[in-house]
C-alpha cells in the first residue's frame, strides 16, 4: 500500500480505508492537508466522515450504520501519552452520536499499516475479521472465532498472525448485541462506552488485526524529541511525596474534600503521584469518603453506607497487593496500569488487567460490596465478555434495588438473592448478563430498556442519561459533571468536562479564553451555575483536541503541561496558535452535536439525567447532603456558550459559518431562516 506522496512526512498518511462488509470491497480515500488542518485526526476524522456518509435515521444495529476506527494525529510520532484510538458510530444506546476510545498498542499498529482510519460499512453475511499490515488488507473468515471471549480471540489471532499483531475485537457481549458491549484490545482493555461493541457484532465483524511496521515520518523530529524530553523532566518532579501515599491518606484527604464551607483547587502533582503509584484505584477510598463516588445506586452516602474501613478493603493498597507487574500504554511515561494475579481460592485468576476505579466503584460502593475477590472475578468476566463495566455495574445496582424493593422476585432472578453487598449473587448475575441468560438477557441492554420491560415502578431505580448508565462521579460533589452527563453528544460521559478537570488542566496557561480556577472557593459560588458554561465549554473543546491527537486524558491532568499543540505543529509542519487549535476542536465538537440534532435529538431535552444524579430530592446525610444542582440553569449556561438553541438544539447559523461548517448550516436549516 503506497502512502499519499503529497502527505508523507506530516504525522499523518493522508489516507483512510472504507471496507464494505456486504460486498467485500475495500477502497482507499485520499485526504489532503486542508482536511487535517480542519479536523486533525482521531475523533475529528470520525466526526467528519460520519457526518458526510451516514444516512440520518439509520438503524444503529443495521447495515447503514458506519463503524470507524481512527488513530490520533500524534500517534507514533515520538510524542508522549498519544497511543489511543477512537471508535465512532451511531450509538445503539443513545440513538445518537457514539464514540469510545482506548489505549494500549492497537492504535500505533494500525497507523503503521499506512492508514489514518478504517470505516466499516454494510454487514457481512458471515463472521469475518479484517487483517491488515503495511502491504496487505484482507477480510478473512472469522466463523471459528465466533463464541470466543476477547482474550481467546486475541490469542487465536496471534497464533495465526504472529505475536506482534495487535487485535481489537468483540466478545460474547458484542456478538449478542448487548447495548453495553464495548471493543477490546490488549487482552481486556475496552473502548467501552456508547455500545459500539454491539455495532461491531451487528456487522458480523469479530476483529480487526493490525500488524503494520511502517513508521510515519514527521516534519520536525528534533523539536518533537525536545518537547518530549522536556515533558518527561516535568513529569518527574516531586518524587518525594509518593512514599506517603496510601488508602489512609486518601481517606483523610477525602474527608477534607467533603462539601463544607470551602472547596480547594485539586493539586495536580498529587494526582500524578497517585496515578503513578497505584493507577486509578487510588481514587477508591478518596472518592468514597469525599463524595465523588456514588453509593448504593446513587441513594446512599459513603459516610453512612460505605465508610473508610469498607472502601479500604477494595482500595488501592488492597489492589496492589495482587499486582504482578506494571503496565503502560504505548508511548506512556506514567504507566498507570498493572497486571494482577489471584493465586488461589475460588476466584483464582492467572492474570488480568488491574480493575480501574470505575470498576471498583461500580461493583463496590455502588452495590455496597467490599469483597475484592468478587470484584476481581467480575473484572475478568466483563473484560473477557467485552462489556462496559460502568454500565454493567449500573444495571446490577438497578436489579439489586428492584429486588430489595420487591419489584423483582426470586422467580425473576432465577433464585439469586440480589441483596446489597451479596457478592456471590452479584457475581453470578454479571455472568448471566454477559451470556444473556435468564434475567441477564433482560438486563443486557441497560437500565432504561430493562425498566421499560419490567415496569412496576422500577424506572425509579434506573439511573441513566439518554439510555446510558451514569459513570462513577457524582455531580452533587462536582456539578461540572452534570454538563458532560446530559449536554455532551455522548450522554453519561465522565471524561469531558468538570470542575476537577478545570482545576487540574490549568487551561488558562494554554488558551486566552480560559480563566484560572480559584485556589479556594465557597460552596455557594461553586454551585452557582450562572456563567459556568463558558469555562466548561472550553474544557469540552480541549477534550476534543486530546481525542483528535490520540492522547490520554490523564496526560493533561498531571501538572506537567502536555505540549499537545506544539507537538502537532512539529509533526505536521504547521504554525497554528493554541487558540486556533481550540477553534478546530470546537468544530469537531459542533459536528458531533450536529449529528445528534440531525437524528432528532436535543441533549438538554432527550438526555435528561435521572433525578438522583442532581439531588432531587437531596440526600439527607453524607458529603452530598442538601445538594440539589440546578441543572436547567447549568444546561442553559452551557448551551449559550455553545451557541445552541435550547428548544431546537441547533447551533447558531452565523457561528457555524465562522467555524467553516457551511454544509452543516445547509443540512440543518435547509433554505429556511429558522
Ligand atoms: S496514564 Fe494510564 S491510561 Fe494513560 S496512557 Fe498511561 S498507562 Fe495508558
Quick one: what percent of the chain has pLDDT higher than 90? 84
Q: How far is the CA of 281 from the centre of ligand 1 (A)?
A: 13
Give the residue-averaged pLDDT of 299-325.
Answer: 93
Report the pLDDT value the prediction gives residue 621, as an integer from 0 to 100. Answer: 86
Sheet holding 349-353, edge to edge: 323-327, 337-342, 349-353
The 3-state DSSP class for residue 127 equals: coil
How is residue 520 written as a grid cell?
A: 479556594
In this structure, which residue's CA is closest to atom 2 in ligand 1?
Answer: 336
Report the pLDDT value the prediction gives residue 294, as an integer from 0 to 100. Answer: 96
Report the pLDDT value the prediction gives residue 624, as an integer from 0 to 100. Answer: 82
Nearest to 84 by CA among 332, 448, 455, 357: 332
* Cβ(656)–Cβ(665) below 8 Å: yes
Q: How far is the CA of 498 from the centre of ligand 1 (A)?
A: 20
Strand duo 85-90 + 67-71: pairing: antiparallel
Q: How far is the CA of 334 from the centre of ligand 1 (A)?
A: 7
* Cβ(215)–Cβ(198) below 8 Å: no
Describe the crossing of helices 389-404 and 447-454 by its angle, rounded to 10 degrees: 30
Does the beta carbon of 72 sit less than 6 angstroms from any atom of ligand 1?
Answer: no
Give the residue-averaged pLDDT of 596-616.
Answer: 97
Positive or negative, the CA dihedral 402, 403, 409, 412 is positive
Q: How far is the CA of 358 from the centre of ligand 1 (A)?
A: 15
Report the pLDDT value the prediction gives residue 346, as an integer from 0 to 100. Answer: 83
Instruction: Report the residue among 192, 268, 552, 559 best suited for mutation to probe ligand 1: largest number of ligand atoms under 8 A from its CB.
Output: 552
Query: How far is the C-alpha of 131 from the C-alpha of 20, rounded, in Å?
Result: 14
Report the pLDDT value the prediction gives residue 256, as an integer from 0 to 100. Answer: 74
Query: How far is the C-alpha of 131 from the C-alpha of 157, rounded, in Å?
Result: 10
Distance of CA 115 to the CA centre of its chain: 23
For the CA of 335, the nearest atom of ligand 1: 7
Does the beta carbon of 104 sit less than 6 angstroms from any atom of ligand 1?
Answer: no
Query: What band does 672 get if pLDDT is binned at 50, 70 and 90?
Result: low
Nearest to 581 by CA among 562, 557, 595, 598: 562
Does the beta carbon of 334 sit less than 6 angstroms from any atom of ligand 1?
Answer: yes
Using only C-alpha atoms, the chain has a radius of gyration, in whole angstroms, of: 23
Q: How far is the CA of 139 from the centre of ligand 1 (A)?
A: 31
Return mean pLDDT, the chain: 94
Query: What band does 674 get if pLDDT is binned at 50, 70 and 90?
Result: very low
Tell me the per-residue pLDDT of 375-422, one tens digit each, with 9 for 90 and over: 999 999 999 999 999 999 999 999 999 999 999 999 999 999 999 999
Report the pLDDT value the prediction gives residue 3, as an integer from 0 to 100. Answer: 46
Query: What band does 4 get if pLDDT is binned at 50, 70 and 90?
Result: low
Tell me the per-residue pLDDT of 251-271, one tens digit each, with 9 for 90 and over: 877 777 766 667 777 888 888
Query: What band does 671 get if pLDDT is binned at 50, 70 and 90?
Result: low
Instruction: Report the residue among 504, 554, 558, 560 best suited for mutation to probe ligand 1: largest number of ligand atoms under 8 A from its CB.
Output: 554
Tell me the per-residue pLDDT of 24-64, one tens digit each, with 9 for 90 and over: 999 999 999 999 999 999 999 999 999 999 999 999 999 99
Does the beta carbon of 270 sit less than 6 angstroms from any atom of ligand 1?
Answer: no
Determine whether 519 is exposed, middle or buried from the number of CB atoms within 10 Å of its CB (0-12, 13-18, 19+): exposed
How is residue 427 written as a grid cell?
A: 457475581
Position 184 pLDDT exceeds 60: yes
Query: How far is the C-alpha of 445 from the C-alpha of 179, rounded, in Å?
Result: 5
Cα distances from 485 to residues 149, 171, 488, 566, 581, in angstroms, run 31, 27, 6, 31, 25
Amino acid at each position: 500500500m503506497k502512502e499519499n506522496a503529497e502527505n508523507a512526512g506530516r504525522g499523518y498518511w493522508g489516507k483512510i480505508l472504507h471496507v464494505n462488509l456486504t460486498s467485500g470491497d475495500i477502497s482507499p480515500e485520499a485526504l489532503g492537508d486542508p482536511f487535517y488542518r480542519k479536523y486533525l485526526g482521531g475523533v475529528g476524522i470520525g466526526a467528519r466522515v460520519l457526518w458526510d456518509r451516514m444516512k440520518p435515521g439509520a438503524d444503529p444495529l443495521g447495515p447503514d450504520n458506519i463503524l470507524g476506527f481512527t488513530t490520533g494525529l500524534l500517534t507514533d510520532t515520538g510524542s508522549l501519552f498519544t497511543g489511543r484510538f477512537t471508535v465512532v458510530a451511531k450509538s445503539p444506546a443513545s440513538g445518537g452520536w457514539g464514540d469510545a476510545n482506548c489505549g494500549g498498542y492497537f492504535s500505533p499498529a494500525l497507523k503503521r499499516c499506512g492508514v489514518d482510519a478504517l470505516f466499516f460499512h454494510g454487514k457481512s453475511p458471515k463472521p469475518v475479521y479484517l487483517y491488515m499490515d503495511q502491504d496487505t488488507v484482507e477480510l478473512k473468515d472469522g466463523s471459528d472465532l465466533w463464541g470466543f471471549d476477547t482474550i481467546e480471540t486475541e490469542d487465536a489471532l496471534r497464533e495465526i498472525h504472529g505475536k506482534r499483531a495487535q487485535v481489537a475485537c468483540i466478545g460474547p457481549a458484542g456478538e449478542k448485541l448487548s447495548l453495553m458491549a464495548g471493543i477490546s484490545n490488549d487482552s481486556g482493555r475496552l473502548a467501552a462506552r456508547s455500545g459500539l461493541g454491539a455495532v461491531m457484532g451487528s456487522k458480523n465483524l469479530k476483529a480487526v488485526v493490525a500488524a503494520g511496521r511502517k513508521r510515519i515520518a514527521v516534519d520536525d523530529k528534533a523539536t518533537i524529541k525536545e518537547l518530549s524530553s522536556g515533558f518527561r523532566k516535568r513529569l518527574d518532579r516531586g518524587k518525594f511525596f509518593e512514599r506517603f501515599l496510601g488508602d489512609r491518606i486518601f481517606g483523610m484527604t477525602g474527608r477534607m474534600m467533603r462539601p463544607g464551607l470551602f472547596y480547594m483547587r485539586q493539586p495536580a502533582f498529587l494526582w500524578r503521584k497517585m496515578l503513578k503509584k497505584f493507577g486509578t484505584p487510588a481514587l477508591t477510598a478518596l472518592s468514597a469518603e469525599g463524595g465523588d463516588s456514588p453509593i448504593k445506586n446513587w441513594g446512599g452516602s459513603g459516610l453512612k453506607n460505605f465508610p473508610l474501613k469498607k472502601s479500604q478493603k477494595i482500595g488501592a493498597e488492597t489492589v496492589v497487593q495482587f499486582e504482578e507487574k506494571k503496565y503502560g500504554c504505548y508511548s506512556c511515561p506514567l504507566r498507570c496500569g498493572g497486571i494482577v494475579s489471584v493465586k488461589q481460592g475460588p476466584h483464582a485468576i492467572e492474570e488480568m488487567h488491574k480493575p480501574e476505579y470505575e470498576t471498583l466503584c461500580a461493583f463496590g460502593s455502588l452495590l455496597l460490596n467490599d469483597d475484592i475477590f468478587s470484584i476481581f472475578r467480575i473484572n475478568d468476566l466483563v473484560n473477557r465478555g467485552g462489556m462496559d463495566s460502568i454500565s454493567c455495574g449500573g444495571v446490577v445496582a438497578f436489579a439489586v434495588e428492584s429486588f430489595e424493593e420487591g419489584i423483582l422476585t426470586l422467580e425473576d432472578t432465577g433464585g439469586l438473592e440480589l441483596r446489597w453487598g451479596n457478592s456471590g449473587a452479584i457475581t453470578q448475575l454479571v455472568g448471566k448478563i454477559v451470556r444473556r441468560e435468564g434475567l441477564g438477557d433482560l438486563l443486557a441492554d441497560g437500565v432504561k430498556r430493562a425498566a421499560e420491560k419490567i415496569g412496576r415502578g422500577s424506572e425509579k431505580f434506573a439511573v441513566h442519561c439518554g439510555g446510558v448508565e451514569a459513570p462513577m462521579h457524582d455531580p452533587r460533589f462536582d456539578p461540572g459533571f452534570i454538563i458532560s452527563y446530559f449536554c455532551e453528544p455522548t450522554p453519561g460521559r465522565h471524561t469531558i468536562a468538570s470542575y476537577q478537570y478545570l482545576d487540574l488542566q490549568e487551561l488558562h496557561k494554554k488558551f486566552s479564553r480560559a480563566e484560572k480556577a480559584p485556589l479556594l472557593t465557597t460552596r455557594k459560588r461553586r454551585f452557582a451555575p450562572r456563567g459556568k458554561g463558558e469555562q466548561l465549554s472550553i474544557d469540552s473543546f480541549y477534550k476534543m483536541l486530546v481525542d483528535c491527537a490520540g492522547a490520554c486524558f490523564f496526560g493533561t491532568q498531571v501538572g506537567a503541561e502536555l505540549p499537545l499543540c506544539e507537538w502537532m505543529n512539529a509533526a505536521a509542519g504547521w504554525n497554528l496558535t493554541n487558540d486556533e487549535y481550540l477553534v478546530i476542536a470546537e468544530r469537531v465538537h459542533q459536528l458531533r452535536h450536529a449529528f445528534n440534532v440531525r437524528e432528532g435529538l436535543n441533549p438538554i431535552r432527550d438526555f435528561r439525567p435521572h433525578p438522583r444524579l442532581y439531588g432531587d430530592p437531596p440526600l439527607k446525610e453524607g458529603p452530598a447532603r442538601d445538594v440539589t444542582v440546578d441543572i436547567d440553569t447549568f444546561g442553559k449556561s452551557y448551551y449559550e456558550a455553545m451557541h445552541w438553541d435550547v428548544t431546537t438544539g441547533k447551533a447558531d447559523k452565523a457561528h457555524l459559518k465562522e467555524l467553516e461548517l457551511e454544509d452543516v448550516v445547509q443540512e440543518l436549516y435547509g433554505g429556511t431562516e429558522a
